[in-house]
Structure 1
Amino acid sequence: MDTARMGTGQIDTRQYTFCSIFRGAAFRGAAVLALAAVAAASPSGGASAAGSDETQRSAPARPANPDYAAGKAAIDAGDYTKAITLMSKVAAAEPQNADAMNYLGYSYRQLGDYPASLAWYQKALAVNPDHRGANEYLGELYLQMGDVAKADAQLAKLDDLCLFGCEEYDDLKAAIATYKAAHPGATSG
């Protein structure tokens, strides 16, 4: 699904579960408690945002930027030109805001400006290399540019980031499979 989503999805058991790795009953109980403690201690209660609010989770609380909120609303409405104007203001005012940069990449990609999209995804990943949304969307951009090998590299990065699976991994994996089915000669390199 290629939309600018506001959340990263739920933890799932796509490849393996934590408990299947470690068999001891006592260890499983301790692992569950440890994971619950980590989730409870996070500002979002264990939830995070994909491609949108990842950097703000770890940053100190700051007043909401009205341009950022309006830019997200413009993306939701499909007004990518307006989103670019608003998110550009955010990126200029907050040069460490990988979320705004990711949204700029997304908006430019929706308008077909792949060079600008690529530049903004790369800027977002320079600020936060583990930004799941930017990694997914960069992989989708590579597919649109016909570069399956680079899309696969982004999928591998997401696989490393998403130990328990995540929506970004699942979406990019599905997009790659769809692309390969539509382009039988496409290879990963």
Structure 2
Amino acid sequence: MSMLRIPAGLLAVALLAGTPAFADMNDSTEAAPSAPDLSRELKTARGQIEQQRYAEAITTLKAAEQKDPTNANVHNWLGYSYRKSGNLDAAFRSYGTALKLDPKHKGAHEYIGEAYLMARQPDKAREHLVALKSICGTGCEEYRDLEQAIAAYKP
């Protein structure tokens, strides 16, 4: 498995958004009543991410994924943790899964856009900005954050 290296100059773009607001930890459509309760795992992962303990968050989220592989939030936060760990290949896979499960997942669109900036693919980041505009308009936090990251991007 190849791992994309993050050029030092692009690290500022990755850090621009800082630690995410976690109001969107469950930002996807409500889980089906029969879906396993992952609130404990997501709360634990939130704390680990807030403390920048991404490897631990990945372990927690992988356990959650075993309980419910169809939870888009789990895949989104896995992508986030992989991206912050510097593993863009795994991040793209996780974000892709989140978006297959929930094509309107605002957090996944924002974060995959930021990952594309890290991978020096601003056109792909802009595609996700367009998607966010159609999902929530230009006023939602995810749109504004990705728009700001794109504006700050320097190749």
Q: Which runs of 5+ in 2 are unaligned?
A: 1-16
Supply the distance in 2 between the matched residues of 1:171 and 1:63 (Cα, whole angstroms): 29
What is the letter of the counterpart of residue 102 of structure 1? N
Alignment of 1:1-189 (within 5 A): 1-7=17-23, 49=24, 52-55=25-28, 57=30, 59-60=32-33, 63-163=37-137, 165-179=139-153, 182-183=154-155
> How has the CA–CA distance of structure 1 residues 111 and 164 changed in structure 2, closer, same or farther, with 3 Å as cutoff?
closer
**Greater helix fraction, Structure 1 or Structure 2:** 2
Supply the distance in 2 between the matched residues of 1:158 and 1:56 (Cα, whole angstroms): 15
Aligned 8 A contact 1:108 1:117 in 2? yes
Shift of 1:71: 1.2
Deviations 1:109-134 (A, max 9, x none): 01100000000000110110100000
Percent of counterpart pairs with the same letter?
36
Q: SS at 2:123's partner residue?
A: helix
Q: CA RMSD in A?
A: 1.8
Deviations 1:17-37 (A, max 9, x none): xxxxxxxxxxxxxxxxxxxxx
Shift of 1:55: 3.1
How many residues of Structure 1 are paired with residues of Structure 2 in the alignment? Answer: 138
Deviations 1:121-163 (A, max 9, x none): 0011011010000000000000000001100000000010113
Supply the distance in 1 between the matched residues of 2:135 and 2:18 (Cα, whole angstroms): 20
Aligned 8 A contact 1:4 1:103 in 2? no
The structure having more radius of gyration, on CA atoms, is 1
**TM-score for both structures, normalised by structure 2:** 0.82
